[in-house]
Structure 1
Amino acid sequence: MTAGERLLIAGGLVVDPVSGQAERKDLLIDQGQIAGIGTPGSLAADSATQHDASDRLIIPGLVNAHTHGHANLMKGVAEAWTLEASLTNGPWLASTRDPATIYLSTLLGAVDMLSKGCTACFDLVYEFPRPTKEGFAAAARAYADAGMRAVLAPMVADQSLFQSIPGLADALPPELAQSVGKFELASSERTIAAIETIIAARADLPETVTLAIAPTIPHHCSERFLRDCMEIADRHGLPIHMHIAESRLQAVVARQLYGRSAIRHLADIGLLRPRFTAAHSVWIDAADLDLLAEHGCSIAHIPASNFRLGSGTAHVRPMLERGINVALATDGANSSDSLSMLQAMRLASFGARTFAGSRDQWLRAPEIIRLATQGGAKLLGLDLCGRIAPGTHADLAMLDLGHVDFIPDTDPVNQLVTCADSASVTDVMVGGQFKVLNRKLVSVDTSGLRRGVKDAVTRLSATTREARALAARLEPHVVSFAEAMTRQPLAIERTIRPELA
């Protein structure tokens, strides 16, 4: 269908994230929005094209609250990486990339997400050693071409892993300690100037792409750098998105550097606010949650990555009890690989059950669906997404009720969380236009995508060979240092420690 064409999606089983119920409905779509909802056959839609959805479960388009488009060319690269191992390899994962390669990597992720029912994402765009206007524009163009909505944030810092963790550089063998300078980031002044250049060109961004800023990890950013980022966000009205207490090491380092938690430190310098997102938030306590709730912040819950990197299990129930907006996310393909929001939903459900206590504290299917739709839409600032109601954007995903995942159709809402995978996704719509139709991506030509990705990976393998070899030499030393440092006691636990088993 073309933009502006009226469409009647007839007889689908429509999931309401608010009530957690699924009912047979007709959806009338006009000018990219849902113009009417009614029982089957009740809507006056004589001039509308009809799309039979009688064998479809219809949900709001899933919203991925935290990913990294630069990592899509590195799918499957990590077998046994911890977070600190991943950060050690970060410079070569995102270096020596021209805009064409950035476009291709981002497009690959958009195709991946769309095919699995995701219609919008928050992408923390990373270029080493600093962001560029050309690279950022390429990422934005990829999402627009694929037909996804996206919030893009330059992911920035002014201190490398080896500068940010007390004692790490000194613990390296002398020959390696001398080499880590190759992984240093651009100066804070050059990085801030690069961000300003990107913001100055925001009028050139596609209509479906908006801006944010992402100082990556608190201790990777000097206080001056954080204040500069905060000033930019205030001046330009940008959301701020940071990785917070993702690993146990990060919680320990914060207390060494600041004498308090990272959340308390950010609150003290004025960084917390309603458009602030704390991604991961695995190793935070009740006092941290109180601060996030007090300042109206959101949390991006990322179970696949937390499990994949062995970071621990974030405790979501106390977040929700405080009224914090929690959204679901996949992370980048280097740390969760599949970019599947359906998988993230299942892992969020299961992960909530690892904490001791009553089953009343578990996350139920309707709550999980809200995290993956409404929660993400709120985090991204997409007020007209994440739900199916008159006047909202017609961003929808349809799943095949004839697929084995829904046979028998005992409870489709529960089965959406516990059974469904990407094979059951048949159609995906953004702004009233099909991007996936009958399981085929129709928004962009992907016929040369596989060859292009293969050629790009071959080029990157050659241009990053030296940096990759250095990271491989550094990695065991970094991991060993992190393991020793994380033995320091904390008041909370988010992993099953051997002495407790």
Structure 2
Amino acid sequence: MKARESLLFTGGLVLDSELGTADRKDLLIEDGKIAAVGAPGTLAATTTAKRDASDRLIIPGLVNAHTHGHANLMKGVAEAWTLEASLTNGPWLAGTRDPEMIYLSTLLGAIDMLSKGCTACFDLFYEFPRPTREGFAAAAKAYADAGMRAVLAPMVADQSLFQSIPGLVDALPQDLRDTVGNFALASGDRIIAAVEAIAAARMEMPDTVTLAIAPTIPHHCSERFLRDCLDIADRHELPIHMHIAESRLQAVVARKIYQRSAVRYLADLGMLRPNFTAAHCVWLDKDDLDLLAEHGCSVAHIPASNFRLGSGVAHVRPMLERGINVGLATDGANSSDSLSMLQAMRLASFGARMFTGPREDWLHAHEVARLATLGGAKLLGLKSCGRIERGACADLALFDLNHVDFIPGNDSINQLVNCADSAAVTDVMVGGTFTVLDRKIVSVDTIDLRSRVADCVARLTAATSQARTLAGRLEPHVVAFAQSMSHEPLSIERRIRPEPR
């Protein structure tokens, strides 16, 4: 990523993510870094290009702690889907894609995120039937071309939805039982070999893209497969990112299979560690949170998806009280659609208020802003991002203080969380280079993007029509099975139960 040599922002209202304050400051950008931060008028440099920022709120670039680049072509397809409905439709949602489709899908998501002030993401990237070096390289190139940082993790499993949930196949009509009996992912050994090939080629990736591994959901992975993933992570020093207790059914199934929670099971396997991220974490109890805290794990909080799929509301305050690092995320475009970290901030704030207790337990605006910047940067391993201070990466998002979202200007941080949308984003910078300038994407040519994406979607629709029809037949049975398990006892509740009608 080539950065312009020097730029001075003058008089901007600058967010301090650590302190939760916003004050007028000058920022000097050199060689992709923040070279200096000072009071207005104190950083004069005759050779530096200057940009008046007195009508701008400048924040660290937002960091999306969990998304799925392969899902960006499926924006808007889900209506009244539960998580289990989404997983049932997974075969056609993910589809069998060539590198061009993977590139365009990833690029579309990157442009979407950048336009809304997000400069980095953790992408759990899926290919069927197994990940490939070519597909992975296409996704990495898309992020590099867009000018966005990414941690890219092959999302893998060796057991299908129907293999992983006891009793699910028996709940299907006989003809569908026979059909899903033929479902099979690539063998665990072949998937592990594919991930090894990607890890071996990691030095070929752009310098703004790093590698992780994502065994998708604990019970979708055999114990041997999880141990193989752990071995790869250990040998290649890779972060691990998994979906944990996203839905009530997942929490119930873990206890049926393991006779303990998924978090306890993973702790016993030795998978929990400081570079382990647990995504969603809706249905975790205090013992699970204690384990995550004890092992220094992070949590990706994903309120938009959890609301969209009816999964429940994750309780963030107990996580923060235990010192767990929490990052904020959107999930993929098939389950939260907009990829808006601004929306995620608002929903995180509102969702925290659904729990009984004093208002001091709510997430306050400065805390939410921290989750979306520093928390996410730490989760991604971006030690120099998520903050505005000397030596930090010049990853910045600028908001127009003349936009109606900030008029009147009563409290810029509160208004960032509770008012702002993407229309207020004027400029985005990654590593000192503008990716969005004067509200336009400038890092990559988008002129024919719409037509190229439309062509890909048309080809995917034709190629996956049979899988889509089959998913439509399976979906009501899977959802009914999940509903039948909703009364299985758990020690916590994360959804509001209606009164008797």
| TM-score (norm: length of structure 2) | 0.99
2:195 is aligned to: 195
Partner of 1:353: 353
Q: What are structure 2's unaligned runs of at least 5 residues?
A: none
State the match for 1:5 in structure 2. Answer: 5
Q: 1:500 to 1:229 in 2, by over 3 A?
A: farther
Equivalent position of 1:269 in the other structure: 269
CA deviations over 1:354-376 (Å, ceiling 9, x no partner): 00010010001110000000000
Q: Give the Cα separation in 2 of the matches to 1:293 and 1:321.
A: 10
Report the Cα distance in structure 1 between the residues aligned to 2:499 and 2:269, rounded to whole angstroms: 38
Question: Following TM superposition, by how much is the alpha carbon of 1:94 offset from its aligned partner in structure 2, in angstroms?
Answer: 1.2
Alignment of 1:82-481 (within 5 A): 82-181=82-181, 183-481=183-481
Contact 2:9 2:50 in 1 (8 A): yes
1:179 aligned counterpart, secondary structure = helix
Deviation track 1:295-329 (CA, whole Å, cap 9, x = no partner) reads 00000000000000000000000000000000000
**Post-superposition offset of 1:182:** 5.0
CA contact (8 A) 1:115 1:441 kept: yes
Deviation at 1:2, TM superposition (A): 6.3
Tell me, what secondary structure is at the counterpart of 1:47? coil
Q: Partners of 1:113 and 1:80 in 2: how far apart?
A: 24
Question: 2:160 corresponds to which letter in structure 1?
Answer: S
- 1:91-150 deviation line (CA, Å, top 9, x unaligned): 111122000000000000000000000000000000111111111110000000000000
Q: CA deviation at 1:485?
A: 1.1
Q: Which residue of 2 aligns with 1:66?
A: 66
Q: What amino acid maps onto 1:107 in structure 2?
A: L
Question: Which amino acid is the alignment partner of residue 7 of structure 1?
Answer: L
- Please give the secondary structure, in 2, of the residue aligned with 1:382: coil
**Residue 423 of structure 1: SS of its match in structure 2?**
helix
1:486 shift after superposition: 1.9
Look up the SS of the partner of 2:134 in the other structure.
helix
How big is each residue's C-alpha offset from its partner over 1:341-397, in whole Å with a ceiling of 9 and x where there is no partner?
000000000000000010010001110000000000000000000000000000000
1:500 to 1:124, Cα distance in 2 relative to 1, 3 A:
farther
Instruction: Tell me the distance in 2 between the aligned counterparts of 1:272 and 1:190.
Output: 25
Residue 193 of structure 1: how far off its partner (Å): 0.5
Quick one: distance in 2 between partners of 1:44 and 1:12?
15
Identity of aligned residues (%): 76
The answer (yes or no) to whether the contact 1:282–1:311 under 8 Å persists in 2 is yes
Count of residues in correspondence between the two structures: 501
In the TM superposition, what is the alpha-carbon distance from 1:335 to its structure 2 partner? Answer: 0.2
What whole-Å deviation, never above 9, does each CA across 1:224-273 have from its counterpart, x for those lacking one? Answer: 00000001000000000000000000000000001010000000111100
- What letter corresponds to residue 395 of structure 1 in structure 2? D
Give, in whole Å, the separation in 2 of the partners of 1:445 and 1:78.
Answer: 29
Contact 2:4 2:433 in 1 (8 A): no
| Inter-partner Cα distance in structure 1 for 2:182 and 2:307 | 30
Q: 1-side partners of 2:338 and 2:16: how far apart?
A: 26
Distance 1:160 1:486 in 2: 21
Deviation at 1:181, TM superposition (A): 4.1
RMSD: 1.1
1:499 Cα deviation from its structure 2 partner: 4.7
Using the alignment, how far apart are the partners of 2:386 and 2:57 within structure 1? 16
Report the secondary structure of 1:228's partner residue.
helix
CA-to-aligned-CA distance 1:139-184 (integer Å, 9 cap, x gap): 0000000000000000000000000000101111111111114542
- Quick one: structure 1 residues 249 and 415, their matched pair in 2 at CA, closer, same or farther if it must change by over 3 Å? same
Q: Is the 8 A contact 1:312 1:495 kept in 2?
A: yes
Q: Following TM superposition, by how much is the alpha carbon of 1:194 offset from its aligned partner in structure 2, in angstroms?
A: 0.5
User: Residue 498 of structure 1: CA displacement?
Assistant: 2.2
SS in 1 for 2:89: helix
1:8-19, aligned counterparts within 5 Å? 8-19=8-19
Work out whether residues 33 and 392 of structure 1, in 8 Å CA contact, stay in contact via their aligned partners in 2.
yes
- Cα separation, 1, equivalents of 2:228 and 2:458: 38
Distance 2:425 2:243 in 1: 31
Confirm or deny: 8 A CA contact 1:301 1:326 kept in the other structure: yes
Structure 2 CA distance, aligned partners of 1:4 and 1:309?
43
Deviations 1:180-221 (A, max 9, x none): 145421110010011011111111100000000000000000
Tell me how far apart the structure 2 counterparts of residues 262 and 161 of structure 1 sit (CA, whole Å). Answer: 16
Letter in 1 for 2:144: A
1:3 is displaced (CA, Å) by 2.4
Find the aligned partners of 1:485 and 1:235 in 2 and give their Cα distance: 39
Counterparts of 1:174 and 1:500, CA distance in 2? 35
Hey, what's the Cα distance between the residues in 1 that align with 2:428 and 2:242?
30
Distance 1:182 1:320 in 2: 44
Q: Show structure 1 runs of 5+ residues with no match.
A: none
| C-alpha separation in 2, matches of 1:365 and 1:488 | 36
